[in-house]
Amino acid sequence: MNRQRSSKAAAFRPAHELRSRDFEPGFVLTEVATSRYYKTGDWRSKRPVWDNNRCIQCGLCYIYCPDMAVRRRPDGFFEANLDYCKGCGICAQECFTKCIEMVDER
């Protein structure tokens, strides 16, 4: 994937540090997916845990996660990306076999 280079690409910085000269004309952001830097995983108070004996690999948890924080492992089962999982519990709610349990974060 090619990135469009500009003469003064602003590195991702907190908003309150940006100066007026730091903006691209039109406030274009040439670095995409900067939301990656915002790790919302530390928001959660519960975390999803899969029982892979009951998981049928239907992928509903992956589809329903609003944060794209459920990923498929090479063995075909699913896990949460703990950097971003906010513990909302939708995956557990939608799971077809109810094999996901929301456990307290210690």
Partner 1 sequence: MNSTRKTIPIPPGHRRVGIEDSHAAALAVKQCNVDVVAAYPITPQTHIVERLAEMVANGELDAEFVPVESEHSAMTVCVGAEAAGARTFTCTSSQGLILMSEIVYITSAMRLPCVMILANRSLSGPLSIWCDHSDVMSIRDCGWIQTFAENGQEVYDLVFHAYRVAEMPEVLTPVILNVDGFYLTHVVESVLTAEQELIDRYLPPYRPRVSLHPDRPVTMGAYGVPELFTEAKKNQDEALKATYPFILKAWEEWGDLTGRYYHPVETYRAEGAQVLLLTMGSIGQTAMVAVDRMRDAGVPVGLVKLRLWRPFPFEELRRAVSGAEHLVVLDRAVSYGGPGGPVASEVRAALYGQPGAPVVHNFIVGLAGRDVAVEDLATIVQKSLTRKKPPRQEDYILYGARE
Q: Which residues bind partner 1 (CB under 8 A)?
A: 1-4, 6, 14-16, 18-30, 32
Closest of 59, 106, 53 to residue 79, by C-alpha: 59
* 19 or 106: CB nearest partner 1: 19
**Distances in Å between the alpha carbon of 1 and those of 4, 27, 32?**
10, 21, 11
Look up residue 32 and give its two tokens.
Answer: 């995409």
Cα 39 versus chain centre, distance: 8
Contacts of 60 by beta carbon, 8 Å cutoff, 6+ apart: 91, 94, 95, 96
H/E element, 78: strand 78-80
